[in-house]
């Protein structure tokens, strides 16, 4: 099995402990990802130490700002290979997680991981966020939305905030360009019912990769006209 000491040490800083069983699940997930990556493009990062820092530790870095041990409903929009949602579920089993993506093949891989690890209270959901955000069973139903998707924040806010309950949060995992995106977002957030609570700028463990967790409060309901139809948010950002 691979060496997860760096992750264990990182979590310990925030008084989060993990069992041997959880580590085994993370390792099985890693091995399945690398095997599937041979035929399906899941990630450009495949070397274990890089995955450990840039995918696993990055995914759990939200613990800098939020108590993830609570019972919460979480949707991961644009989950891709399962980051951050799958890692959060393994580390914090009490979370109820929906992994949302527009590519069915990626979700097929994640379904295999869920079965292999015997995970419960975690589902995959295929579709476009512009459409899913209008469904009564998904609209404003989640305590927390997380996303590492690469869309600019004004666009991502329109895709993500409709899923979040009033009083809930949307956390966008951003790079060192995050502050520029926040500066371009006031109008979008005002329209969509969001408000920036904080930006948490830091570098990943033993790495010069700058990260910015943008934490947005959902302070009022999203107007019924949002999200707009598929493709419009990215073509005509708010």
pLDDT digits (tens, 9 = 90+) for 56-81: 999 999 999 999 999 999 999 999 99
What is the pLDDT at residue 208?
Answer: 82
What is the pLDDT at residue 234?
Answer: 92
Label residue 121 left, alpha or beta by phi (over 0 means left) and psi (-120 to 50 means alpha).
Answer: left
Homologous superfamily of 5-235 in CATH? Vaccinia Virus protein VP39 (3.40.50.150)
* pLDDT by residue, tens only, the chain of 238 residues: 999 999 999 999 999 999 999 999 999 999 999 999 999 999 999 999 999 999 999 999 999 999 999 999 999 999 999 999 999 999 999 999 999 999 999 999 999 999 999 999 999 999 999 999 999 999 999 999 999 987 899 999 999 999 999 999 999 999 999 999 999 999 999 999 999 999 999 998 777 889 999 999 999 999 999 999 999 999 999 9
What is the pLDDT at residue 15?
Answer: 96
What is the pLDDT at residue 117?
Answer: 98
Q: Which long-range contacts (CB under 8 A, 24 or more apart) does 85-89 make?
A: 85/59, 85/122, 85/146, 86/29, 86/110, 86/113, 86/122, 87/26, 87/29, 87/55, 87/56, 87/59, 87/60, 88/59, 88/60, 88/62, 88/146, 89/119, 89/121, 89/122
What is the pLDDT at residue 170?
Answer: 98
Please state the pTM of the whole predicted model: 0.96
- Which helix (H) or strand (E) segment holds residue 215: the answer is strand 210-218
Q: Are residues 33 and 56 in contact, defined by beta-carbon separation less than 8 angstroms? A: no
What is the pLDDT at residue 119?
Answer: 98
What is the pLDDT at residue 149?
Answer: 82
Q: Are residues 164 and 146 in contact, defined by beta-carbon separation less than 8 angstroms? A: no
CA 126 to chain centre: 15
What is the pLDDT at residue 139?
Answer: 97
What is the pLDDT at residue 53?
Answer: 94
């Amino acid at each position: 099995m691979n060496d997860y000491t760096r992750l264990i040490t990182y979590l310990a800083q925030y008084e989060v402990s993990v069992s041997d069983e959880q580590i085994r699940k993370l390792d099985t997930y890693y091995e399945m990802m690398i095997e599937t990556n041979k035929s399906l493009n899941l990630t450009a990062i495949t070397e274990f130490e890089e995955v450990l820092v840039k995918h696993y530790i990055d995914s759990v870095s939200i613990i800098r700002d939020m108590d993830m041990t609570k019972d919460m409903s979480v949707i991961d929009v644009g989950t891709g290979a399962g980051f951050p949602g799958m890692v959060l579920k393994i580390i914090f089993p009490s979370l109820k997680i929906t992994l949302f993506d527009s590519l069915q093949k990626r979700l097929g891989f994640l379904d295999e991981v869920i079965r292999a690890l015997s995970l419960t209270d975690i589902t995959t959901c295929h579709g476009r966020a512009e459409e899913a955000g209008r469904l009564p069973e998904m609209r404003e139903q989640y305590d927390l939305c997380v996303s590492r998707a690469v869309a600019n924040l004004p666009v991502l806010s329109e895709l993500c905030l409709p899923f979040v309950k009033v009083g809930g949060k949307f956390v966008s995992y951003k790079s060192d360009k995050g502050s520029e995106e926040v500066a371009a977002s006031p109008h979008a957030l005002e329209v969509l019912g969001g408000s920036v609570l904080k930006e948490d700028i830091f570098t990943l463990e033993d790495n010069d990769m700058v990260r910015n967790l943008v934490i947005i409060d959902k302070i009022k309901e999203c107007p019924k006209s949002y999200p707009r139809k598929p493709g419009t948010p990215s073509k005509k950002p708010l």
